[in-house]
Copies of this chain bind each other. A is one copy, B any other.
Amino acid sequence: MSTQTRGDFTLPGEAGYEQLTLELAKKWGADVIRDSDGTKLSPEIVEAGYRIYSTICIIREHNAFAEKHPDAQQQCFLCSDPVTAAGDTVVIAPLDGYYDEQFQLNDGPDALPYWQVWDRTADMEVPRGRWTYKDGKIIVAGCEPWHRYTASFLCWRIWEEINMYNHTTNHWTSEHLRQLDPRHPLAWEYLKDWLNRWCENNPQTNVIRLTSLFYNFVWIFGIDLRRRTRFVDWGSYDFTVSPAALAAFEREYGYALTAEDFIHQGRLQATHRPPTPHKRDYMDFIQRFVADKARELVEIIHSHGKQAYVFYDDSWVGMEPYGKYFASIGFDGLIKCVFSGFECRLCAGADVPVHELRFHPYLFPVGLGGLPTFMEGGHPEKDALDYWLHVRRALLRQSVDRIGLGGYLHLTEGFPEFTETIAQMADQFRQIKALHAHGAPAILPIRVAVLHTWGALRSWTLSGHFHETDGNILIHINEALSGLPVDVKFISFEDVKNGALKDTDVLINAGRAGDAWSGGDAWKDASLIAEITRFVYEGGCLVGAGEPSAAPDGDTCLRLAHIFGVDVDDGSYACHAPWAFDPEEAPFPVCREALAKKPGVRLTGPDTRVLCAADGLPQLTLHAFGQGQAAYLSGFAYSPAAARMLLDLLLYMTGQDGTAAAIAGHPLVEAAWYPADSTLAILNNSGEAIETTVSCPGGSVKVSLAPLETRIQKI
């Protein structure tokens, strides 16, 4: 079966497989053919009447230039492993333990002044006069015996990380690609010139698919296979550093950043942790730089009559779609690879003309987790369906313009169930898109604000994909919200203090004590506490999960414990008995599996209602506070049932029944109501057939759904 519909689909073509390319383009209803990292399009494909996307990773594939200008390569700060002083001298080999194919010391005259040595035991920098650097080693004199010393240093990154990943994971054997820093003036002129020439030489290309811009997410490899990936942070700015960047920063901000601003006791500043003020400054500095340079590229592309789409993955650092400068770049489209619903919303909500999703699985022998996909033992059709089940609920809520795939098309041979599954998804996608085209779906009058350190900058995502961040409660909540018929925004603590709660019905804070999602020391601000206290007292709703509003040194562990009627003991409640409780019957179905058995959760008063508990630990509570109320969840693990529990909780707290949008009787069925077409989109999230009733402003309808069915039904 081929698709019933056509268009809005980007197919990865592959030279040498021209017939397959054109066959699948037809089967999937493609209107665009693209190349991928590692594949080329042949003239036969390019001239077949499809629009053409051409993938460019602008900073890569310039090894000749990089070899001639090694100082144009990208850099970063690293920190050596600590060395314990058994005497008064310590010798540090800075790069010991790091992957020597990725890093090379930068001990040049502009880099060495940024190097530092630290006494980590005393948490003090060692004065410059007490250490020397010779033959690749640092010798520290006058050490405090038994203290531990580290060196912070700059190094060149001599292997572009995505290429490195493909070599080490997918056994590529081609030349190691290097990456250029657009901050290097010669390199920048070279890159612009190169892009101009590329555009001239590729008249058939309609859209240049930038993948992505300049700086990769941070991915630090170790030499030891027991810790090959030492550090990976999709939101980190550490790979943007260079002496030139540091000097420019100092000129602009009037103060100098040091190695320690990045190294941070060896921990680096991960996106999951609240940033220092210096880091905030540096991020803004880089964002402006990235936007400025990207704008130049887009202008070049436009000058050749082509469009510029940007792929939001890999080298995307500094161009966050919800960042202050993203819209100013002038991209024509944003392409987001999606495993999950939250990524769909992240793309759909960005301020850019075209929103396109690249579905998973990528057409590669193995998936990101290293498991087989398009090879023996793989089930790519199951993977695709699994991701689709996450994405389709988000697609109901907010329109995207296009979908597509990427990778080696020939790998689909021998997987006919996969090609069939994709054909069905493409049809469903186009049906849903058509509904949106006539008007937005009904939404509940519930304005949710997710509150964390980063606010809008990190709307929907934390730092990478779901499976990379699934130890964080918030990504599960974001995933649940991505398919709910409520308004969702992401706000920062500053936003709250600047009045953001006036447009908010339900405030959500979810994270672990001290992390960026809970907020850490931000909660030491009494004016923040007072503003949220006012908000709830006057009728607002508060939802907390995990260790919301946790900060040390308060009279409660959660700074909003008085609103939650719950606290999470960090040990400081020693000898204080908690309030005993009997759980009550919850007014809606509780998805127990979504909640955690979190030690230390305790009621702070007699009026907190416990809707679910395990082993004597409250898991889901409600607490009236003034005219408002608060819910506490000990944890939240995404599943369709968990998402429904969250919806039921929001409805219960705001006194609604859900029919203002569309709601099914069965908790594993979700629905959206498109009033312009008098049409319901109904999703069976269960692997079983379900009969249920869906209620919406258009009335109630009884439906019998096949397992996992997507039903589009006029009323």
Contact = CB atoms under 8 A, between A and B. Distances in A.
| Residue of A271, A513, A580 most packed against chain B (CB within 10 A) | A580
A273 B144 contact: no
A526 B86 CA distance: 15
A166 interface: no
Nearest to A572: B267
Given A227-B577, A267-B576, A553-B123, A84 B533 contact: yes
A87 to B, nearest CB: 11
A570 interface: yes
Given A230-B577, A273-B572, A120 B555 contact: yes
Interface stretch (A145-153, A200-208, A492-500, A502-510): A145-153
B574 A272 contact: yes
Given A273-B572, A552-B552, A606-B224, A626 B533 contact: no
B531 A575 contact: no
A537 interface: yes
A617 to B, nearest CB: 13
Interface in A249-278: 265-268, 270-273
A94 B133 CA distance: 66
A512 interface: yes
Contacts of A233: 574-575
A555 B123 contact: yes
A186 interface: no
A135 to B, nearest CB: 25
A574 B227 CA distance: 15
Contacts of A81: 605
A121 interface: yes
Contacts of A512: 571
User: How many copies of the polypeptide does the oligomer hold?
Assistant: 2
B526 A121 contact: yes
Given A575-B271, A606-B224, A562 B82 contact: yes
| Residue of A121, A236, A273, A534 most packed against chain B (CB within 10 A) | A121
Interface in A213-255: 218, 224, 226-227, 229-233, 236
A227 B580 contact: yes
A146 B576 contact: no
Given A531-B146, A606-B224, A514 B82 contact: no
A555 to B, nearest CB: 4
Contacts of A232: 575, 577
A64 interface: no
Nearest to A144: B530
| Residue of A148, A266, A553 most packed against chain B (CB within 10 A) | A148
Contact of A534 (B146, B150, B266, B581): B146
A558 to B, nearest CB: 13
Given A123-B554, A580-B227, A574 B270 contact: yes
A659 interface: no
A289 interface: no
Interface in A586-632: 605-606, 626
B123 A575 contact: no
Nearest to A121: B526
Contacts of A648: none
A122 B224 contact: no
Nearest to A536: B146
Given A267-B572, A574-B273, A530 B562 contact: no
Contact of A575 (B272, B534, B573, B581): B272
A515 interface: yes
Given A226-B606, A552-B552, A555-B82, A146 B530 contact: yes
Contacts of A531: 146
A463 interface: yes
A93 interface: no
A138 interface: no
